[in-house]
């Protein structure tokens, strides 16, 4: 279980959130610039909160009280960036193996399983600039999961994709979550996506937890009518 209780002073407002994630999907939903990405960065250790604590199981990632801050390399928290941040100077394979400390039969098995599940075996030797958006997304997911993270953070994982690819990959993300059995924390500003991921949803507005916005309910009604 991941417990996040953080305060971070941002230029326009103060981010102050308190939530827990069990081994399922938590969606952080809110408008652009509401502090979602900052929250993910704090969990990954890329940004240091100003106060509070981040605890995963018995491991303290961050604690203001104990003056403890575990650097990102030691947290084993996977992070999928909004535009994937695949290393442009490496092939698909080198990207995917980057987070593996030592190649072993277990990691090779894991690699083959991921390549098959994500259907990217045929592009493994390609350079990154030859990939389509959907392929990049799959490679980024494979790269993050190859490092065997304890948590996976996903920043707008589907926003850069066209509609068909989005639907396909949404299903894949859910499946990968079930297979890996680790908590996924997903950030989105798209109501459809937030609902479709099927996990708990945390609404955020200007850095605080907020009630579900009006259009959220309206969307649900429309969804029910037509669905």
Partner 1 sequence: MIEWQPVILSIKVALMSLVFVTVFGVACAYSMRRLEFPAKAALEAVFTLPLVLPPVVTGFILLVMIGKNGPIGRLFTDYFNTQLIFTPYAAVLAGTVVAFPLMYQSTKAALQGVDARFEDAARTLGAGEWRVFWTVTLPLAWPGLVAGVVLSFARALGEFGATIMVAGNIPGKTQTLPLAIYFAAESNDLSTAGIYVLIISGITFAAVYWLNIWTKTKVKTSSYRGVI
Contact call for residue 181 and partner 1 (CB under 8 A): no
Asked whether the beta carbons of 48 and 42 are under 8 A apart, the reply is yes
Q: Report strand pairing: 59-63 vs 68-69.
A: antiparallel
Among 72, 124, 159, 165, contact with partner 1 (rule: CB under 8 A): 72
Q: What is the largest CA-CA distance in the chain?
A: 52
Contact call for residue 102 and partner 1 (CB under 8 A): no
Asked whether the beta carbons of 100 and 146 are under 8 A apart, the reply is yes
Q: Pick the closer one to partner 1 by CB: 72 or 213.
A: 72
Contact call for residue 161 and partner 1 (CB under 8 A): no
Piece in contact with partner 1 (CB under 8 A), picked from 24-32, 85-93, 108-116, 195-203: 85-93
Contact call for residue 79 and partner 1 (CB under 8 A): yes
Q: Pick the closer one to partner 1 by CB: 58 or 89.
A: 89
Containing 4, the helix (H) or strand (E) segment is strand 2-9
In the complex, minimum distance from the CB of residue 106 to partner 1, in angstroms, rounded to a whole number: 16
Q: How many CA atoms lie within 13 A of 86 on its CB side?
A: 28
Asked whether the beta carbons of 188 and 159 are under 8 A apart, the reply is yes
Contact call for residue 44 and partner 1 (CB under 8 A): yes
Q: Pick the closer one to partner 1 by CB: 154 or 194.
A: 154
Binding mask 131-150 for partner 1 (x = CB under 8 A): ------------xx--x---
Contact call for residue 114 and partner 1 (CB under 8 A): no
Contact call for residue 101 and partner 1 (CB under 8 A): yes
- In SS3 terms, 44-85 reads as HCCCCCCEEEEEECCEEEEECCCCEECCHHHCCEEEECCCCC
Full strand arrangement of the beta sheet holding 25-29: 77-80, 151-155, 184-188, 25-29, 200-205, 208-209
Q: Pick the closer one to partner 1 by CB: 63 or 94.
A: 94
Q: Which residues here bind partner 1, judged by CB under 8 A?
A: 44-46, 71-79, 81, 83, 85-89, 98-99, 101, 127-129, 143-144, 147
């Amino acid at each position: 279980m991941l417990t996040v209780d953080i305060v971070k002073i941002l230029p326009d407002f103060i981010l102050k959130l308190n939530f827990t994630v069990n081994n399922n999907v938590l969606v952080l939903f809110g408008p652009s610039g509401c502090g979602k990405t900052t929250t993910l960065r704090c969990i990954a250790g890329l940004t240091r909160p100003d106060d509070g604590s981040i605890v995963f199981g018995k491991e303290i990632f961050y604690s203001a009280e104990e003056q403890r801050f575990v650097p990102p390399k030691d947290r084993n928290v996977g992070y999928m960036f909004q535009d994937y941040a695949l290393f442009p100077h490496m092939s698909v394979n080198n990207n995917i193996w980057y987070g593996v400390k030592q190649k072993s039969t277990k990691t090779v098995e894991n690699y083959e399983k991921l390549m098959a599940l994500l259907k990217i075996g045929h592009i493994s030797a390609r350079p990154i600039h030859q990939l389509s958006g959907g392929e990049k997304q799959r490679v980024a997911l494979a790269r993050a999961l190859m490092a065997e993270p304890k948590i996976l953070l996903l920043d707008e994982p589907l926003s850069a994709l066209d509609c068909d690819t989005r639907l396909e990959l949404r299903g894949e993300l859910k499946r990968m979550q079930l297979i890996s059995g680790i908590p996924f924390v997903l950030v989105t500003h798209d109501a459809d996506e937030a609902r479709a991921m099927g996990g708990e949803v945390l609404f955020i507005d200007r850095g605080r937890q907020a009630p579900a916005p009006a259009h959220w309910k309206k969307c649900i009604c429309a969804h029910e009518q037509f669905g």
